[in-house]
Structure 1
């Protein structure tokens, strides 16, 4: 064993000094031309500039800074710093873009001299005025957005966002068309490259808080007058949790999701965005995000929503969603669980039509249970939910063009799930012939009449004319208005069943996951300091730009994770989309060149 002492390491002060962390400098980073070109292509592919130019029309005077350049610089700012602020966008446009990029955006080739404050201020004001032209153009209630008005005047202006005036309606629809086009452009790119080939149409819809930097209304001490906020249509967003409410807007987001039974992977993208006053038009905003998906050619499967959408009137959410081809997976409040109503004699139990003679213990299994008992069901509750299944009416025919659905009695058909003396008496079904059963065959044992639950009618049974319609005939037709307002509770999966859990829990987790990514470190939709411009139009456009850039990042990250660099993109012909929408160019990171059609 050696007894030599270890050699002392000489101090290397030079190397330590060079590897020491340094504070960031004030020097502005240079933005690669490829990044600018990429987001210019995203904006051009969205098709919003012809809409804006048509609405703007010819105007006298100097043209000023192009609106297209301002929007591209805002997206570059979001990509570079996560901020959708005009100050950051102008700083990057003035000092971080190359001469080539500035010329392509229609800006002056020469940058404003940094040592001349008057030239910088003039260039900054031209940049701001270009964005003001856009927001004033699309605002149905134009006013000075820097002045806090008395509340009664603000309320009068706010009616322009919900009245039926044709000009106001047209501007609101144009603004939403711009938002939808921006958000769906990366989705259209993903579909053109074949990245959505495993998407089966399951979507999650949720409403998340989008606070603003403006202060809420307050009472002026000197006069006692109620002064409105500069955001005249903002309000308090109350989340489902225990957190305090936030003042601002509510963003309705539709998310591309998948269930446990669906194999394959695809990028998790936002498929729709609507910015609105909190707790107003919740169901209508969700439908607004779903309609463009059919025009894009995406499939429709399950729409998974929380209890805020279950409370909406059927005509506001449930019926339009079914007309678009979506099935519903819902959750209920404490006082909504259990037996919810009836139609044609069939009970509506936790959203599913069921036999009117279902045992009360099964029908009331979820009545009065709190959320904790539902989220972590006991073995007894799980057994009761499984015992309900044979008594549920079976789907005989899917919805037709009018939305009518046919259901079959569980005791009818060639393979009934229950045995019912009432059904045998009314329909004159004779005794079942005894057959030999192989007791070692599980399927034969389960199919035998003795293994099926037996419905127990009251003794003595009712007269024939007093029996429910479902007992008189083997099937019933459930029309959209048969349940009335209770139609909002009907869903297409048995509540708390394994199939419901595999769909609802998975999609809700993915929905919350995308909300978390939109409120992460790089991009934060929930930070009002990232959206400082005043007015609902400005907030809507900035939120749409944030989500569009986030979708572009999600698409890029998914490609680098799931597609090898040397693997070509999947063919897009299988989706039968127009040739002008195809985009097969590979992604090459955040400094990638723009896609080539």
Structure 2
């Protein structure tokens, strides 16, 4: 147990380095808090009709957290919050916020600290989406019983609430960057899953007890995770990192036209949007990545939404859990391929799915295998670029607007006045500027398309020209702007 002398020494150090908070800064932060909706979201969660009156409001607590983060490089501790709220604000501000006065010694500080701690933990309990107690190793049978007896709908509601509250706090952290985001950012983002370790020690699957943080899980990084093209590494070399914790899915604001690099003198480029985390969500590592990503993407509706890039974790998810919902949110997904996912991946009604787009089967084989040949070094990058550009003659084109999830019907290039085809005599003689499409290797395999098309396996990588490509869900064919059903009309 910490002695009173140690506590007095600690409080004395805090007093020496205690900052004085200007009233103008307090009023600015309070105005931003009120505009964010954070206080109105949280206040009902901790409202009480019985017992003693609370001596600290939710609004004041979030003010203290903001001030602590601003003075400690983003780190927030409840000690720093108590130090600023009870001893760093002016008497005028404390009176306006209803903050009690405590004597400036270790007993007074501890009294204020416990007020802050109780309110913080009350908020945390209100949004905790787990029925399992923390900070104790529990019998696995007890944990299983607690989960079986829990109200799953209530837990799901708490999880959504937790993500919403956490992302409102994240938006508050971007207060100074809002002018730059509103003026320079087009809404393009990147998804990145980042592991966060816990203080709890992970237990083996055979252990009769859980870790003291039973909601976390094991994260294992292998050589294949580090480089998805590595498939022949010895088994003993595949595990590169093992950690007990959580996976945080970060939504990072990105400018597709600029890399955000600093100027030659090392200063920030004020005309470029830096990599800023605008939202996040949290769960066990690799537990449900598609759902966690969607939770994070439902961030502040004031932000625009355009292109969404992600690593190869996300294209592997089931489309009904990933791609249509992402498009419904307003994003156009842009993904990459592993080397065994290149070239022709599927066929439907005569159309061939090649890296995310539907093409006529008459496309030359060298164009179908362009990216595949690049990966195995059969061609150089410029040859690959030239072949990718020739793809523009052969794709099926939109016949109608995409629906909310990106589904739309498609038509062949000749029907879209992008070529001439002897199967459709009325498309011939339109001029030498339109290519005559070779009928080889075969006409469409099916006389008429079904209402929906089989799914593409994954999207096409973006060409060097910078034009993004994207994926489509498996319950419809793919196109550069959404899922589609090839049509002969």
Same fold (TM over 0.5): yes
Deviation at 1:138, TM superposition (A): 2.1
Separation in 2, partners of 1:40, 1:245 = 42
Separation in 2, partners of 1:125, 1:281 = 37
Structure with greater helix share of residues? 1
Structure 2 residue 226 is the aligned partner of structure 1 residue 241: yes
**Which residue is 2:371 aligned to?**
366
The equivalences for 1:31-430 within 5 A come to 31-33=20-22, 34-62=24-52, 63-81=54-72, 82-109=74-101, 111-114=102-105, 117-157=106-146, 165-185=152-172, 196-217=182-203, 225-238=207-220, 240-241=225-226, 244-260=241-257, 265=272, 269-293=276-300, 295-296=301-302, 298-367=303-372, 378-401=381-404, 403-416=406-419, 423-424=421-422, 426-429=423-426
Deviation at 1:349, TM superposition (A): 0.4
Separation in 1, partners of 2:373, 2:433 = 36
Separation in 2, partners of 1:48, 1:292 = 13
Deviation at 1:225, TM superposition (A): 4.2
Separation in 2, partners of 1:100, 1:430 = 81
Q: Which has the higher contact order (CA 8 A, sep 6+)?
A: 1
Separation in 1, partners of 2:42, 2:428 = 74
Structure 2 residue 454 is the aligned partner of structure 1 residue 483: yes
Deviation at 1:347, TM superposition (A): 0.8
Separation in 1, partners of 2:158, 2:145 = 17
Q: Residues 132 and 402 of structure 1: is their aligned pair in 2 closer, same or farther, counting only changes over 3 Å?
A: closer
Separation in 2, partners of 1:123, 1:327 = 49
Q: Does structure 2 conserve the Cα–Cα contact (< 8 Å) formed by 1:28 and 1:96?
A: no
Separation in 2, partners of 1:380, 1:329 = 23
Structure 1: which 5+ runs fail to align?
A: 1-23, 436-446, 505-597
Aligned to 1:272, the other structure's residue is in SS state strand
Aligned to 1:89, the other structure's residue is in SS state helix
TM-score by length of 1: 0.62
* Aligned pairs, number: 429
Structure 2: which 5+ runs fail to align?
A: 1-12, 228-239, 260-270, 470-489
Cα deviations by residue, 1:418-453 (Å, 9 ceiling, x for unpaired): x5xxx31x32348638x8xxxxxxxxxxx545xx47
Structure exhibiting the larger radius of gyration computed from Cα positions:
1
TM-score by length of 2: 0.75
RMSD over aligned Cα, in angstroms?
A: 3.8
Aligned to 1:205, the other structure's residue is in SS state strand
Aligned to 2:385, the other structure's residue is in SS state helix
Deviation at 1:319, TM superposition (A): 0.6
